[in-house]
Structure 1
């Protein structure tokens, strides 16, 4: 319809959102480089057969880092103090990264590896929280997230495959962490949270709804852990290399999943992710030969792209509607860390003892379980809707334009009265400046430029939903 914004295809990023996309991509790159460095050095210090244990412990440290951000945000009050904590985490991350890449002592390496991933997780918790706040109710969070992560994977590929020099690797890792900390310290406060209205009427229902993707992430992480354990063991033993050309399929999966996430208000993401997890389940049966290994890992990487977007975008989208957004924003990633850590150490042993058949069967059964768990998300909203009352139409209009509760309240005043902004501010007991900001956001989200255009846009919506 003319004048009606297309929810699925609009690609409009504000300055703050572009800023945050770069920060998110750099954080993802820093984490991948840190994880690769720990696994590579662990093979040298502990032997290839123990790399999966080091990988699992590293995931636990990362998960604890995400949780530490939530805890310290509660303990440290004030934006300045919180930014100081993140800066300290960045300093700790850089110092431990330099030491773990240069030390010759096993004990010091293990300590530095744990501190590096712990502080990296803390920084990640902060970046995920900012991502959720800045992209609150955005139509293009998926595309921005997927594109940024895909570019980070391409950078990692260049650093580790095209220019495989230790000095370049170290400089890239330190530079990524420095840039992330700098961007986080300069991030603007989200003015939409200065005077929020709670989602009190929806909190319990939405929290129960959010448990469905959380359970799905745990089950998907079990599938991912089964495959990760085998390919990590192969890579550390030098049998195959997971950081060369096949790694590019990960970037493809992330970019594609990001675009799918923004279609039909994220209703397609669970379905497509479920389809890819079923395909990836057969990848374990292909790992026994070089040709099959490439195909199996390629399938696994494409699935991993959808899996990572699924554990990121829905949780960042849901987080601002909770009383603990700093926890929910990174909860998908946290669940992934602890679940994969529980599975990874045993998978190489299972593969050696029983071959790929057992892992393939286990992956298929878990994939079916994921499909069943995500069924409510897949069929959500597919039922034919009845004609709406004026009140329901207004509520649906607000939801379709992704307005926050306070924006919806301001919109109602704009539509139902001719009051000026000063009167609206008095009625809502907020400042005129805040009303102006809300009106600007409403115009941006509805694709209008004036109060008259807003009335026309809403009238069109009413006629379409009689």
Structure 2
């Protein structure tokens, strides 16, 4: 496991993707923290939460604008656009730090987070291009998130003034934009294709039927889960804005949760990632209910930091992986953060009202509704995603290279020629047992013996398990 990570981080493309995501995480969260602190100087806790979520919603507009800008702006002008955008962003950071007035801070924050939305689209688009189909995807995302949080922890402990914090954030933002500019030059001038980080992979899978439905279901799943995690976030922000000293040490736990999520999610090629995230969501729903019945605030803080790390790694990895099958990968690669931000805006007033009211019964009803909604959407999404996995496995048989891979798989698990014929049917069709038996000119009982033998030799128990095993085997080759 660690050897795989060392190998991946030794690749320029993977290392650059990790650094870009880490820098963006640090700059985005650090600026958000500075913005909330400045707003809270002239506004109450509820107004501070609202101001925070408003700019998060505006960042979603920038994210949706990114694919359009990427198409409209000519390649030779993109570097200039990025330079001008970075100057405006740095100016907005210092305007927020100066805190001339509540209105000026709100306007500066809105403009800044609009640009952050554009930057986020570029970060995840380029990261998806660089990582491609990667067995270590969740681990690399977890490492980047943990690194970004550690940078924020060090910054908050070493920097004691808002001016110095604005300078540091501006410096790291400039580093991120430099990565963008270098990548744009690489996209225009790639003399050595195999060393170009951003060249489209020749063997990238074609768009698969049903991928749009999968993307919409995943976005809805992330939005529903965000209702839970945004409510916990608002609870923490309300206490922070009211003067509760949260401290910086819990952020180390946040970094650890993101790192742990990456390693856990990658187990069995991310086979159980959605189920793991579902369990974390249930724990968060229970925590919200307990907080409404007087549970100590540190309990909510603990669950918030634990769930946040898992949630970020989940939606980032899921959409980067799914974007490979979409018609507009530049739009979908970073959709997770955008879905989260949009949801945060939509439920702000309801969430804050729920937190400050004394109606515990309302909290229970809301938690149960969210639980049922997430459960339904999760099942629908998993079915759609499994169909994509099966279709991708079937498509792999249509190319000569993958045929050789299938033959290598046959040799590795010691399949007979007849078992191989059954294996190919199992992995590339959705035929029933009887339909396969008819197509292979054998009895149903004989076919079932072959299927049992294949499952025993491969250590799987279902067709889906066989699909996943074959794709994992192909990835290794």
TM range (shorter): 0.7 to 0.9
Distance 2:272 2:213 in 1: 20
Matches for 1:8-23 after TM superposition, within 5 Å: 10-11=4-5, 12-13=7-8, 14-23=11-20
Whether the 8 Å contact between 1:397 and 1:458 is mirrored in structure 2 is: no
Distance 1:349 1:105 in 2: 26
> Number of paired residues?
403
Q: Which residue of 1 aligns with 2:69?
A: 72
2:74 aligned counterpart, secondary structure: coil
Distance 1:326 1:380, change over 3 A: closer
**1:460 equivalenced with 2:411 (yes/no):** yes
Matches for 1:257-272 after TM superposition, within 5 Å: 257-272=261-276
Q: Normalized against structure 1, the TM-score is what?
A: 0.77
Distance 1:122 1:291, change over 3 A: same
95-104 vs 128-137, greater mean Cα deviation:
95-104
The CA deviation at 1:374 is 1.4
Whether the 8 Å contact between 2:224 and 2:373 is mirrored in structure 1 is: yes
The CA deviation at 1:135 is 0.7
Distance 1:241 1:397 in 2: 55
**1:339 equivalenced with 2:343 (yes/no):** yes
**1:177 equivalenced with 2:173 (yes/no):** yes
Distance 2:157 2:372 in 1: 36
Matches for 1:91-106 after TM superposition, within 5 Å: 91-106=87-102
The CA deviation at 1:278 is 0.5
Distance 2:38 2:309 in 1: 26
The CA deviation at 1:142 is 0.9
1:158-188 CA-partner distances (Å, limit 9, x unpaired) = 2224543324422221121011101121124
Q: Normalized against structure 2, the TM-score is what?
A: 0.76
Whether the 8 Å contact between 1:76 and 1:82 is mirrored in structure 2 is: yes
Q: Which residue of 1 aligns with 2:367?
A: 363
Matches for 1:13-412 after TM superposition, within 5 Å: 13=8, 14-78=11-75, 80-161=76-157, 163-187=159-183, 188-189=186-187, 193-194=199-200, 196=202, 199-200=205-206, 202-238=207-243, 240-287=244-291, 292-376=296-380, 395=393, 398=396, 409=399, 411=401
Distance 1:395 1:279, change over 3 A: closer
The CA deviation at 1:134 is 0.5
Whether the 8 Å contact between 1:282 and 1:364 is mirrored in structure 2 is: no
Whether the 8 Å contact between 2:128 and 2:323 is mirrored in structure 1 is: yes
Distance 2:158 2:368 in 1: 36
The CA deviation at 1:360 is 4.5
Distance 1:463 1:397 in 2: 23
Distance 1:59 1:28 in 2: 14
Distance 1:373 1:86, change over 3 A: same
Whether the 8 Å contact between 1:98 and 1:170 is mirrored in structure 2 is: yes
Q: Which residue of 2 aligns with 1:437?
A: none
Distance 2:156 2:256 in 1: 18
Whether the 8 Å contact between 2:227 and 2:347 is mirrored in structure 1 is: yes
Whether the 8 Å contact between 1:212 and 1:373 is mirrored in structure 2 is: yes
Unmatched 5+ residue regions in structure 2? 188-195, 421-477
Quote the RMSD (CA, aligned, Å): 3.2
Distance 2:280 2:312 in 1: 12
Distance 1:195 1:135 in 2: 10
Whether the 8 Å contact between 1:226 and 1:359 is mirrored in structure 2 is: no
Distance 1:124 1:61 in 2: 13
Unmatched 5+ residue regions in structure 1? 1-5, 400-407, 416-453
The CA deviation at 1:101 is 0.4
Distance 2:231 2:308 in 1: 13
The CA deviation at 1:18 is 0.5
1:463 aligned counterpart, secondary structure: coil
